[in-house]
Amino acid sequence: IAFQSANARKAHDIVTALANEFTKYDIEERSKSSRNVLGFIDKQLDKYYNKLKVSENKLQKFQKENKISGSSEFSAMYMEKLNRLENQLIDLDLQINVLKEIQNKAKNANDNMQVYDLLSILAGTDYESTINGLITNLQRLLDKKQQLQNEVTPDSEILKTLNLQIEAQRDLIIESLRSLLDKLLTQRNEVAQKIKEFEQKFYNIPAKELEYARLERMFSIDEKFFTLLLEKRTEYSISEAGFVPQHTILEQAEIPNVPIKPNKKLIFVVFVFGSLVLGIGFVVIKYLFHNEITSVADITQEGKAKLGVLGVIPKYKKEIPVSQLIIDKNPKSVISESFRTIRANLQFISNKPGSKVMAITSTVSGEGKTFVAINIAGIIAYSGKKVIILDLDMRKPKIHLGFNVENDRGMSTLLIGNDSLNNCIKHSALKGLDFITAGPIPPNPSELIINGNLTEIIEELKQTYDLVIIDNPPIGLVTDALYTISMADYPIYVLRANYSKKEYLKNAYRIYEENNIHKLSLVLNSVDFEQGQYGYGYGYGYGYGYGYGYYEDVPEKQVWWKAIFNKK
The structure's pTM equals 0.51
Per residue in 440-497, pLDDT tens? 999 888 888 887 789 999 999 999 999 999 999 998 777 778 889 999 999 999 999 9
> Which of 138-147, 190-199, 343-352: highest mean pLDDT?
343-352
Per residue in 36-79, pLDDT tens? 777 777 887 787 788 878 887 877 777 777 766 655 555 566 66
DSSP character at residue 397: -
- The answer for residues whose C-beta is within 8 angstroms of residue 84's C-beta and 6 or more apart is none
Per residue in 401-416, pLDDT tens? 999 999 999 999 999 9
Cβ pair 240, 38 in contact under 8 A: yes
DSSP bridge pairs for 524:
312, 495
Neighbouring CB atoms inside 10 A of 20's CB total 12
- The answer for residues whose C-beta is within 8 angstroms of residue 406's C-beta and 6 or more apart is 400, 437
Cβ pair 434, 465 in contact under 8 A: yes
Cα angle 469-472-473, degrees, rounded to a multiple of 5: 165
Going by their DSSP bridges, the two strands 426-427 and 433-436 should be labelled as: antiparallel
> Is 60 exceeded by the pLDDT of residue 172?
yes
The confidence score (pLDDT) of residue 565 equals: 46
Per residue in 290-336, pLDDT tens? 788 888 888 887 655 578 899 999 987 777 778 888 888 888 889 99
- The amino acid occupying position 30 is R
C-alpha–C-alpha distance, residues 225 and 88, integer Å: 11
Mean predicted lDDT score pLDDT of the chain: 79
C-alpha–C-alpha distance, residues 88 and 96, integer Å: 12
Q: Is 39 exposed, middle or buried (0-12, 13-18, 19+ CB in 10 A)?
A: exposed
Of 3.40.50.10490, 3.40.50.300, 3.40.190.10, 3.40.50.720, which CATH number belongs to 296-565? 3.40.50.300
C-alpha–C-alpha distance, residues 373 and 564, integer Å: 39
Q: Which of 57, 99, 67 is nearest to 222 (CA)?
A: 57
User: Domain-by-domain residue ranges, the chain?
Assistant: 8-241, 296-565
Cα angle 327-329-333, degrees, rounded to a multiple of 5: 60
Q: Which of 513, 502, 468 is nearest to 488 (CA)?
A: 468
Q: Give DSSP secondary structure letters for 71-99.
A: --HHHHHHHHHHHHHHHHHHHHHHHHHHH
Neighbouring CB atoms inside 10 A of 227's CB total 12
Cβ pair 396, 481 in contact under 8 A: no
Does residue 256 come out as left (phi exceeding 0), alpha (psi in the -120 to 50 range) or beta?
beta
C-alpha–C-alpha distance, residues 459 and 446, integer Å: 20
